[in-house]
Amino acid sequence: MKRMHWMTIALVVLVAAGCAGSKLSDEESAADPFPDKRFLTAEAAGATEGEAKRAAMAELAAIFESRVYARTIQQATSWMGEGLPEQFDKQVEQTVRIHTDVQLEGARIGRVWPDEAAGGFRALAVLDRRPAASRWQRELAETQMAVDGQVEALHAVQGRLSRLAALNGITALMVRQAAIESRLSVLGRPATPGVDDRSGIIVERERLAREVSLFIQLEGNPAPPFTRRLNAVLSSDGYTLTPYRDEAAGLITGTISVQPLDLGNPDVRFIRAMADVQLVDMDTDVQIAAFDESLRKGHVDEGEAARRSVDGVAVQVAKKLVRSLGTLGLAQ
């Protein structure tokens, strides 16, 4: 009986200690309504309340984006080894910034207070980790499914250019997946690592990116200046152009024309440039993309108006070609 009495006392003490501990936690929570375990926070100052709020939100976005970018680059480096190509680095940065800009929904101002020391105001921006993590976990699952689907479909893709376009699309999704995983890690909710080895995707993509070249064969009087401009834009995007058709993996073909326009202004000459372009996989003769582009430009000199319209429509065509090839960033 005496032993039972002491056991009862001990149990009461333990319960009391537990209650005391819970009470302390509540007090701590009241003292800090935005604990670090639950909230990502950033603080900033401004001359007015509005300026302080805007600065705090911008600081939160900057901190978040810089951490996500660093983690994503680290992930990409693990795929490809040290010494990422400069173009790939830029494409990763573009992809991360696109997704970071739209994904900080849910961020808000937690509190604003006067800055008694420096004058003005200070504000605290907060992001609740739990709903943000839930949203990104769903997005991650959808992206993983898309990667798996495109990898499965890759088995049926023939032709060097067609495979490069498919691999570019898969790699873009992999970068997006890495960015989402990085966001979850920054929130302290790391995703479970995937079990599939995607190194073969990167290896084949890099090999084809080095080997694949494009040949331009266009008809029409403006074709030479159009071709030069198109060549320059595609080269700056990392594609190789060849003067030899039999070496090319892809053929850019079609017609280019210009048309004078009478818009009722005798002091300005208007010219419309028109491009009807197709992209063909030379290995399979499969047409990958086809599109019509046109652009109107005006100038007091008719020749200058023609030059500007041809130059501008060449840039439009180049963007469409790059998009059809699934280049990172543009493929989102």
pLDDT for res 332: 32
Would you place residue 118 in the very low, low, confident or very high pLDDT band (cuts 50, 70, 90)? confident
Q: Report the candidate in 81, 97, 249, 92 with the shortest Cα–Cα distance to residue 165.
A: 249
Amino acid at 176: R
DSSP state of 271: E
Structure tokens at 177: 């997946």
The mean per-residue pLDDT over the stretch 116-121 comes to 89
Q: How high is the pLDDT of residue 231?
A: 94
- pTM, two decimals, is 0.74
The number of CA neighbours under 13 Å toward the Cβ of 169 is 19
- Number of Cβ within 10 Å of residue 278's Cβ equals 13
CA–CA gap between residue 191 and residue 182 (Å, rounded): 9
Q: Phi then psi for 85, rounded to 5 degrees? A: -60, 145
Looking at residue 192, its pLDDT comes to 72
Kindly tell me if the per-residue pLDDT of 141 is higher than 90: yes
If pLDDT is split at 50, 70 and 90, which confidence band does 30 have?
Answer: low
Q: Are 140 and 181 a contacting pair, CB within 8 Å?
A: yes
| pLDDT greater than 50 at residue 7 | no
Is the model's pLDDT at 123 over the cut of 50? yes
- Return the minimum-mean-pLDDT range out of 15-24, 201-210, 268-277: 15-24
Going by pLDDT thresholds of 50, 70 and 90, the confidence category of residue 166 is very high
For position 113, what pLDDT does the model report?
94
Residue 181 has pLDDT above 70, yes or no: yes
pLDDT band of residue 239 (cuts 50, 70, 90) is: confident
Residue scoring higher pLDDT (192 or 235): 235
> Helices marked H in 81-119 — which ranges?
86-103
Count of other CB atoms within 10 angstroms of residue 124: 22
Q: What domains can be seen in the chain, in order of their start residue? A: 35-211 (no CATH), 212-324 (3.30.160.150)
Task: Give the three-state DSSP class for 96.
Answer: helix
Residues written for the chain: 332
Q: How far apart are the C-alpha atoms of 15 and 283, rounded to whole Å?
A: 77
Closest CA to 87 of 272, 240, 273, 193: 240
